[in-house]
Amino acid sequence: MAPAAQIVTMLGATLTLCNAFVPPVPSTSPRFSKLAAPRRLAAAGADGASTKAPPMTLTEKILARAAGKESVAPNDNVWVQADNLMTHDVCGPGTFGLFKKEFGANAKVWDRERVLIIPDHYIFTSDPRANRNVDILRDFVQEQNIKYFYDITDRGEFKANPDYKGVCHVALAQEGHTRPGEVLFGTDSHTCNAGAFGQFATGIGNTDAAFVLGTGKLLLKVPASMKFELNGEIPDYLLAKDMILQIIGDIGVAGATYRAMEFGGNAIRQLSMEERQTLCNMAIEAGGKNGIIPADEVTTAYVDARNAGSRPYTIFEADPDASYYAKYAYDLSSLEPVVAKPHSPDNRALARECRDIKIDRVYIGSCTGGKTEDFVAAARILQQNKVSVPTFLVPATRRVYDDLYSLTLGGRTLAQIFRDAGCIDPASPSCAACLGGPADTFARMNEPLLCVSTTNRNFPGRMGHKDAGIFLASPYTAAASAVTGYVTDPREVFEFSQTRQPAETLATKAPASVFAKK
């Protein structure tokens, strides 16, 4: 065991984003109203006697539970017990090295069933350093007898690897590792994706992750919460990606720095779990510590059908009079499809205002935009259209990949629709070009091209070449842009319904005979 002084020095590590900061760019007029926040109640009476716990937000209640405290408040520093720690091939080797350095070469992790290891970033490449990273994960798993390791040994054919899943954030949900009321730490900034399940999920650095590996705990400052009320009927042409890009455009990439972004309002019940993940996934693009949505019957139905280990969980709700740093209210019925222009997620513009911008390619994939419903949405646009620019498809996980060949829309599988439209055949599930990667990464931009993408970041160099330009967009907008060859409002190429047709209701299961032909 390392000396206490050495361990304490590990606690100061913070998550550092590798992308350069880009100043906010003026955007279209805000379509929200900012509401006053209530005053927080005192925790003690006038005579100093203890009173009932002060009202708390959803994030505060979860952290209070994890800290073993009756209540917590913003800026409190508390020791938090982790329910799970996730790492992958990019950060895992560094985390393991620090763990052994500080806790000892023969140290054991705090709980072999709560460490989740998912290779997903630089997988389908011949780069020897990237391949070595996966070897290091495998060695550590064998040494520590880790229960949940989603390994890949045959990079030539991902389907030959029964344990390989794909992108960690989507796989965590699909494999039953996301539960309401829990605390999830991950060595990836988009770990906040899991906040869609009513849990506190946040990204941490390698040093903090090494400490969690050894102790199961982390010293955490409680973030102040911001409330985003999403109300009204969602238009058929609007997706969760439009909603979160609208919000980020309004508050800026630093607008929620080290704060919890809590999403609520009557429109949340109209969103599937995949769409809710899209909202929470990009909280980090506004600087958020975490994104979170209260669990409801949609959440529990999803979780109960999966729940790895059948672990019990607790659903928390924010107190009605909880105090928020700020509150925003949106009428979703008034929103339009938007994009984030290069080179910042808050460089927002209406899609219809960008039709003079010709593009070189379209990319549909990532933890944010490569889920099954994202591809159903894209197929809805492309079922009667042809693409005019190279269109790359990267399913987030192998389950999503299988869905492309087993779900039908209008009598054809999604894969058939994409092929008939002229898209490039779906790649093996992984992060692929979302994070650039080695030069041989599928769909990496090795030239200064312009791309409409369903990914989550558009900083210089994010998808490869430092002079390439990325327009972040919803699957509807990305598919429409693939058809026209310029940034396109999806209403220009598709006649949407007067009432919303959720993507999760559009596709049906194909006969097994069709699925077998993939």
Q: For every one of its 518 residues, what pLDDT tens digit does the chain have, with 9 covering 90 and above?
A: 444 333 333 333 333 333 332 333 334 444 444 444 433 434 444 444 455 789 999 999 999 999 999 999 999 999 999 999 999 999 999 999 999 999 999 999 999 999 999 999 999 999 999 999 999 999 999 999 999 999 999 999 999 999 999 999 999 999 999 999 999 999 999 999 999 999 999 999 999 999 999 999 999 999 999 999 999 999 999 999 999 999 999 999 999 999 999 999 999 999 999 999 999 999 999 999 999 999 999 999 999 999 998 999 999 999 999 999 999 999 999 999 999 999 999 999 999 999 999 999 999 999 999 999 999 999 999 999 999 999 999 999 999 999 999 999 999 999 999 999 999 999 999 999 999 999 999 999 999 999 999 999 999 999 999 999 999 999 999 999 999 999 999 999 999 999 999 999 999 987 665 544 44
The C-alpha atoms of residue 428 and residue 353 are separated, in whole angstroms, by: 34
CATH architecture observed for domain 80-332: 2-Layer Sandwich (3.30)
The C-alpha atoms of residue 289 and residue 283 are separated, in whole angstroms, by: 8
Listed residue (97, 149, 170, 79) closest to 395, CA to CA: 170
Axis-axis angle for helices 372-382, 273-281 (nearest 10):
100
Cite the beta strand spans of 67-118 per DSSP E. Answer: 77-81, 84-87, 115-117
Strand 217-221 to strand 224-231: parallel, antiparallel, or no bridges (unpaired)? unpaired
What 3-state DSSP class applies to 198?
coil
Q: What is the per-residue pLDDT for 52?
A: 77
Residues linked to residue 78 through DSSP beta bridges, in sequence order: 220
Name the token pair of 36. Answer: 């006053």
494 contacts 381 by C-beta, under 8 angstroms: yes
- Distance of CA 1 to CAs 4, 112, 210, Å? 9, 18, 13
476: DSSP letter: H
> Which residue intervals of 407-451 are DSSP H helices?
414-421
The reply to whether 80-332 and 337-492 are identical in fold is yes
When computed from its CA atoms, the radius of gyration of the chain, rounded to whole angstroms, is 22
Q: Which CATH class is domain 337-492?
A: alpha beta
Cite the beta strand spans of 332-403 per DSSP E. Answer: 338-340, 348-350, 361-365, 391-394
24 contacts 344 by C-beta, under 8 angstroms: yes
Domain ranges (residues) in the chain: 80-332, 337-492
Q: What is the per-residue pLDDT for 53?
A: 83
What 3-state DSSP class applies to 156?
coil
Task: Please identify which residue in the block is written with the tokens 């009476």.
Answer: 45
